[in-house]
Structure 1
Amino acid sequence: MLVDGFTTWRAVARELLRAGVPPQAITWGAPGADLFSGAPGEAAQHGGDLLSSQVQAAAQEPSNATAPRPQVPRSLMEMLQTAACFRDHDRWAFLYRVIWRWQQGEHDVQSPADPDGQRLHVMVKAVRREVHDMHAYIRFRERPMEAGAPHFVAWFEPAHDVLPQVAEHFVARMGKVTWMIATPDASVLWDGATLHHTGPLMSSAADLDDAGEALWLTYYRSIFNPARLNTQVMNSHISSRFWKNLPEGALVPSLVSQAGLGARRIGQVEAVGRRSGRTIPIEAEKAQPERQQPSKLDECRRCDLWEHATQAVGGEGPKHAKIMIVGEQPGDQEDLAGQPFVGPAGKLLDRVFEQAGVERKGVYITNAVKHFKWEPRGKRRLHKTPAQKEIEACHYWLEKEIATRKPKVIVAMGGTALKSVLQTGSVTLKDKLGRPVRHGDSWVVTIYHPSYVLRVPDEASKHEAFSVMVEGLKLAQELLDRPDVPEPPEG
């Protein structure tokens, strides 16, 4: 029996089931036409002349006129329709065997535990994968605007008959823009209002060209990192049958060859790839081999916070400021603006400066951690306290800031800043409030972080915490005038 698509097959299969014709009595064929073409009314006419005499006789039995219409669950029919796109020489015969067994009460045929059910599931999975790949790897090329011609054209070589489903996807995605997808067996053309199915209109992607493609290829060369090249992973993620029709596919062999000839080693000079694994505590000076440290804050990859932050936020203020203010980390607004203390905490800090009689523009303001650490809460990014390993990783930058500016007084706002400045995890904020300590060539004064004042629930505690910050800045100003003030004894 000749079958030109799933719609035709379904109409014929329905009549054969009503006639009680078993699978072994039918010979099916497929001319390779469009899978979903053909009307149910034409099915018997197209297929009848190829039926065996036994099948024709069964199909013409008078009792069949009153035979009940076959009942098939929607889930099975959807699987059959998807599996019909799988290119196989006996797919129509196989699909009929599945539906025949179901009608005979063998409902296990839909289960992967059944041999036919397993094959059906494999076919469905392969077709769905092909639809996904076609969505992912189709590349439209822009064409000159001509009357009646599609604005964008793509070439693809699918392994299964999924062009109609993929076409519907792009109709929904591309609106009224005209386009065409060509394959070796068929083509679809969208004119902005109607989808047209035709036979093959192209033989390859060789004739497709796009003025904007040169820009894309330039960008692809710039982002190709030879130091992280892994050809096995590259080939496992994208099959060679896709690479040959991708614009960047022509570049890959030469880029891979250059990596093998030394570009990989050159790429590793600037930074060594991050590797996951157990952290082993060891003194930095004893670690081997010694790795090149980043020279710019934007290039820092010493911890993982950079991956989810908008940008690194460095310090701000006079180069030789006598007072350095150290906070914890940038907040949401600081992460977006690229400046420290510009959000609600920054506004409260401005009030503290005003009450203490200290000009903000005369001090250097920075953070112990330079990237915003956060966790999602709906559409908001909520602050998350940095871990000790992240504080230690970012101390590299704070140490450079202190060494460059040589402040006489460092004001640590909050526990994170205090731990970073003193380089100890055992110190607590409560022990150091209002008590300046000597650290290297600088005095260290500890106060609350502005965000703590904003979080305090009652007004009395809020006022007390605000006063501690004001008094701390006044003390910092006094220490500038009295550098010989002795360090208060412990205890």
Structure 2
Amino acid sequence: MLHCIEIENHFAAWRAAALVALAQGLAPESIEWRIKEGAGHDSLSGQTALDYGETSGNAALMSDAPTVHISKELSALLHDAALYREPDRWAFLYKVLWRWQCGDRAAASPADVDGARLYRMAKAVRRAKHDMIAYVRFRKQKPDAQTPEYIAWYEPEHDVLAWAAEHFAQRMGRSSWMIATPHGAAFWNGEQLHIEARRALRHEHRCDTEDEAEALWLAYYRSTFNPARLNEAALEQHMPVRFWKGLPEGHLIPAMISEAKSGARRVAQASGVAVLGGKSIAVEAEFAQPARDQPSSLDACRRCDLWRNATQAVGSSGPRDARIMLIGEQPGDQEDLSGEPFIGPAGQLLDLAIGRAGLSREQLYLTNAVKHFKWEPRGKRRLHKTAAQREVEACSYWLEQELQTVRPSVIVALGATALNALLREKASLRDYIGKPFELEGGWGIATYHPSFALRQQDDAASDRVLSAIGEALAEARKLAASVQGEPRGVP
């Protein structure tokens, strides 16, 4: 029997209806989710990040609703994915909640089909939030009783208007403003925020009055443009073309690019720069580094060029007296932004393997062989690129310091790069997997990097990789116990 559930198009209404459906034991395939007449697919009501309330219409049934305990991570994913502009989002979110309530925790794993989709939706919404904060431009006009002091037009990819409006309301003081979008508008009168859902606007809401601050900004933007350093790919990656039409400086960019291509980039440059002949000389990586003082801190490290394109150096985490050390390859995109190791999708899979081995993060020392994120642009994304041997050698200075400080009983190398960094020589990961080897003062174990599980074609293959990592960690626990007794905190 197919059940039709009609809700307003926002998270609070879906949450209340979903709890009622769970109480009645309705499976996802037996529910047809519909948006109430007049609410519209793009209704913005109740979309603020702080709105977790229940709809009053279901209050009578809520007393019979089951108690649903979900993790903070899943809660954050559901709230963000609820803003993803997709017709079947409510049906999909209920499917994830249903699986979780039935005990299927894989629904929140990036290695699961539904989990991967949930992460993808949440990531797209978070990116849309960042873009809206970055690319909304207000234009000042003469205010009156009906017209705000500042007006902006923006076209968000997802339903993040209400979230962004809260951000601007906290930062614009008592100045009145309006942000108009194709799917609604946000109004701030200096005291109260109002979100108005409407049908799609046919024309952009433009402000034609002169703005002295904008003229000053355009003059400044022109003066800072350096045609000799123009990189179109990097420009379009950090400021996508689709945002240009909403930016005051947007109409200047094509002309400045054209001028640079027409010869402006040659101004003030010597004609012989970077054209001298020569040939490459083969040299061992350890001898390729120039003589220099050793850096006093990781943030000041310039031993290789990876720091130039990284947000920051990513250090380690965990107790300094840990008996088990885990070494990965290098930080990823999320680690580069946060400065913490193993917090991205691969880190979440590593947490699953750690749990299967009867360990916890608090007992382990986590680090990487390379401390800066090496990447290459692919559209709007930064894709991981394997570190070169010379970069691994450059970072061995920091890894040696960590080994001498922590002095772990067991070291687990996650992947081939980590194994090579630990052994200080080229080695095949396949030859070492499942074969603990002796190190000075302890043992070494080699296994797959968790990102290898993410690259598998199906769930079964991914779970086999995850099981292998868990078994390696369980072996590390046994070896640590045999060397110095049971690791701290292990029951």
TM-score normalised by structure 2 residue count: 0.49
Q: Which has the larger radius of gyration?
A: 1
Which structure is higher in RCO with an 8 Å CA cutoff and minimum separation 6? 2
